Structure 1
Amino acid sequence: MSFKNKVAIVTGAGQGIGFEICRMLAQKGTTVILNDIDIGLAKKAEGLINQNRPDSCLAMPGDSSDVGFINSMVDTAVELYGRLDIVIANAGITLYGDFFAYTKEAFSKVLDVNLGGSFFLAQAAAKQMKDQANGGAILFTSSVVGHQALKSLAAYAMTKAALEMLAKNLVIELSQYRINVNTVAPGATLTERTMEEADYERVWSNITPMGRPAYVTDIAHTALFLVSDEAKHITGQSLIVDGGWTSVSTLPDGIK
């Protein structure tokens, strides 16, 4: 897959899956605008990527659910690099909570980041890609919980299922401009955040048919394929990367 001379925006990329996607894209010749709400993480990620390929990554710390900031990322890509080819709306938050006690504040925050940020980033990117007249690729990060229910994740799961429907709907809106839109749905994945959870790797290794959780590279390889020229005829689809877990849906220890 060739990504040479392309320009990408990836949100929620200070660490974990988003960072690995940025690292792989830069390694393959793409110039990446790397977003994270955490300034320190964003700058650290920029430095790590630029060590391997100087000036291939620009950190833009900020709130990926803020429409003004979203527009500024797209404007920066065009002003500095002249184009925008790939957008990956990876930023998202998980706010666990009992359905009966879930607050309006938590609900609104999950929707603003997971849905609002993804929707308006896609909108801003698609406008630019349409004007360029040579197409582009948009990718949303969904989740296996958009396919399989887990306790205390009603609001989060709802947003992830909605992203997959958004990708399908945008097929109608964007295909005529040669913009394809897909989602990747990770299962349990070893990241800096999940490794802080007690026994995470052991628990998910025991219940995942392939015998382990995903590595960030598993998700990143899938993401790169879906935004590559080789996948231009794939659109409106969701690709689950979970080692087979949704096929059996064995619950983690202690969850009923």
Structure 2
Amino acid sequence: MAENNFPNNGKGSSHHRYLKLISGASSGFGKQLSVRLVDRGYNVVISDMNDKAGKELESLLNKKRPNSAYYLHCDVTKKQDQEALIKQAVQKYGKLDVMVNNAGIGENIEFTKNVADNWVKVMDIDLTAVILGTRLAIDQFRKQKSGGVVVSTASLAGLYPVPQQPVYAAAKAGVVNFTKSFAHFKKENIRVNCVCPGFVKTGITSGNAQEIMGIKEWIPIEKVIDAFVLGIEDESLGGDVIRITTQYGIDLPFNKKYKSRL
């Protein structure tokens, strides 16, 4: 980036020039990350399919700091929507600094009983849209000649087998290896990372997930947001997978040189 010194001094920092574009932002990780980033002094463009919730979040964030947030409707499976999202975000705030590919869905039907082939939608949103968003963000970073950061939401399901949700696991494994394949982009000052949370109570987590998945302990959502911020702000990371578990907290299982400070 032109000035690649992201704020790291917490709430009240004054780096309003940094624009973060977050998909799937009306709830869960996206909503909490938006709040955290505005508190840290960032401007954010938030997108979702739920316009009511998105507008409510926009209003909440702008009450915290005027003109810090802008909501746009976006279906991440449509290229024209993602292209328009980036174009309007840049028109609003001048340039794009960080793209967060966060939109996602889970499986709620056993794979062999899924006669409607709903698994295709899981792949479209959880993997294909991430690939598309990353490509469009990199194109914009290169156009700006400023560098930039992409952080995508993966999952522990992308690192280990999940018999209950095999398609979701396949999509998230795709995000993990897609991310790792961009380590060499650091030479262009473009960093691509992903976060792999364990079980967190969000809207995507079904009411009976704890029983079905045998969940013994939930990860605090604040810890996951810490991991997102790490992926955004730590300039040493690129092509990295940030894992969040109840056992180890935040760590980077594929980066042997990195010593976690969290």
Greater relative contact order (Cα < 8 A, sep 6+): 1
Is 1:233–2:236 an aligned residue pair? yes
In structure 2, C-alpha distance between the alignment counterparts of 1:177 and 1:200, rounded to whole Å: 43
Is 1:181–2:184 an aligned residue pair? no
Name 2:27's counterpart in structure 1. Answer: 15
Name 1:251's counterpart in structure 2. Answer: none
Name 2:97's counterpart in structure 1. Answer: 85
In structure 2, C-alpha distance between the alignment counterparts of 1:168 and 1:113, rounded to whole Å: 19
In structure 1, C-alpha distance between the alignment counterparts of 2:236 and 2:32, rounded to whole Å: 25
In structure 2, C-alpha distance between the alignment counterparts of 1:165 and 1:199, rounded to whole Å: 26
Q: Comparing both structures, which one devotes a greater share of its residues to helix?
A: 1
Tell me if structure 2 keeps the 8 A contact 1:191–1:215.
no
Tell me if structure 1 keeps the 8 A contact 2:180–2:241.
no
Is 1:118–2:136 an aligned residue pair? no
The two structures have a TM-score, normalised by structure 2, of 0.83
Work out which of the residue numbers 219, 226, 229 in structure 2 matches 1:221.
226
Q: What letter is aligned with 2:246?
A: G
Aligned with 1:34: secondary structure? Answer: strand
Shift of 1:130: 1.2
Residue deviations 1:19-76 (CA, integer Å, cap 9, x gap): 0111111111111110111111111111111121121111112211111000011101
Shift of 1:96: 2.9
The two structures have a TM-score, normalised by structure 1, of 0.85
Name 1:167's counterpart in structure 2. Answer: 179
Tell me if structure 2 keeps the 8 A contact 1:207–1:245.
no
Correspondences of 1:1-256 after superposition (within 5 Å): 2=7, 4=15, 5-103=17-115, 105-172=117-184, 174-194=185-205, 197-198=207-208, 200=210, 207-208=216-217, 213-228=218-233, 231-244=234-247
Aligned with 2:175: secondary structure? Answer: helix
Tell me if structure 2 keeps the 8 A contact 1:170–1:236.
yes
Aligned with 2:137: secondary structure? Answer: helix
Q: What letter is aligned with 2:106?
A: T
In structure 2, C-alpha distance between the alignment counterparts of 1:237 and 1:103, rounded to whole Å: 36
Residue deviations 1:108-144 (CA, integer Å, cap 9, x gap): 1111111111111111111111122221110110011
Shift of 1:245: 8.2
Q: What letter is aligned with 1:179?
A: I
Report runs of 4+ in structure 1 exceeding 4 Å deviation.
198-201
Residue deviations 1:135-175 (CA, integer Å, cap 9, x gap): 11101100111122223301110000000111112234x33
Q: What letter is aligned with 1:176?
A: K
Shift of 1:102: 3.2
Name the CA shift for 1:85/1:39 in 2 (closer, same or farther; >3 Å): same
